[in-house]
């Protein structure tokens, strides 16, 4: 069976996002780093772990500003998101030695976005054959490392 390119984040961030008050990214941006799994905060954008990762180290880069329209990203925000993405690739490469990455934006629910009113970019480390042992279409996925451990590792790597 062939997996569509964007299938990885179908089971995105928060299948239960709608059950909670407010925007999950705005809440994370305002919360303490460890509880919110925030790896790094910049001036206009930040980096956090996906709570429902497709693979270990699955990161999300989002603007701090609550905007749902990709076209509304300012040049400064877009530039910082790019710089944070580059740094995320470096940190993930050092921590997990992935063999590849998917980087992508899901705009709108049909495209797989679980949160549609606060745009965000996925950075997903990939290994040869990972889709073979990860049941990407099932509700239960095997993630070999606990999220808090992943957070500690990547936050330390980010500041190294």
Q: What is the smallest separation between the CB atom of 118 and Zn ion, expressed in angstroms?
A: 3
Closest distance of CB 25 from Zn ion, Å: 4
Using rule CB under 5 A, residue 14 touches Zn ion? no
Site string for Zn ion, 53-72 (x = CB under 5 A): -------------x------
* b/e code 100-131 from CB counts within 10 Å (16+ = b): ebbebbbeeeeebbbbeebbbbbbbbeeeebb
Q: In sequence order, what E strands does 13-131 have? A: 38-41, 45-49, 59-63, 100-105, 121-126
Q: How far is the CB of 124 from Zn ion (least distance, A)?
A: 21
Nearer to Zn ion, 36 or 95 (CB): 36
Is 58 annotated as catalytic? no
Considering only residues 88 through 127, tell me which ones interact with Zn ion, judged by CB under 5 A.
118
Query: What is the smallest separation between the CB atom of 66 and Zn ion, expressed in angstroms?
Result: 3
**Which residue of this chain has its Cβ atom nearest to Zn ion in the complex?**
23
> Given candidates 11, 12, 13, 25, which one binds Zn ion under the rule CB under 5 A?
25
Contacts of 95 (CB under 8 A, 6+ apart): 57, 153, 154, 157
Task: List the end-to-end C-alpha distance of the chain, in Å, as a whole number.
Answer: 41
CA 109 to chain centre: 16
Contact residues: Zn ion, CB under 5 A? 23, 25-26, 66, 118
Catalytic residue set: 120
């Amino acid at each position: 069976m062939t997996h569509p390119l964007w299938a990885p984040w179908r089971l995105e961030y928060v299948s239960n996002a709608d059950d909670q008050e407010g925007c999950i990214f705005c809440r994370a941006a305002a919360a303490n780093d460890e509880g919110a799994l925030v790896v790094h905060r910049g001036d206009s954008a930040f980096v956090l772990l996906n709570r429902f990762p497709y693979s270990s180290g699955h990161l999300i880069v989002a603007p701090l500003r609550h905007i749902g329209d990709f076209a509304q990203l300012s040049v400064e925000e877009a530039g910082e998101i790019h710089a944070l993405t580059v740094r995320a690739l470096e940190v993930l490469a050092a921590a997990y030695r992935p063999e590849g990455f998917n980087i992508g934006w899901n705009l709108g629910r049909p495209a797989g976005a679980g949160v549609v009113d606060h745009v965000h970019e996925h950075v997903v480390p990939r290994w040869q054959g990972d889709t073979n042992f990860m049941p990407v279409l099932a509700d239960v996925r095997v993630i070999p490392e606990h999220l808090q451990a992943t957070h500690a590792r990547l936050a330390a790597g980010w500041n190294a």
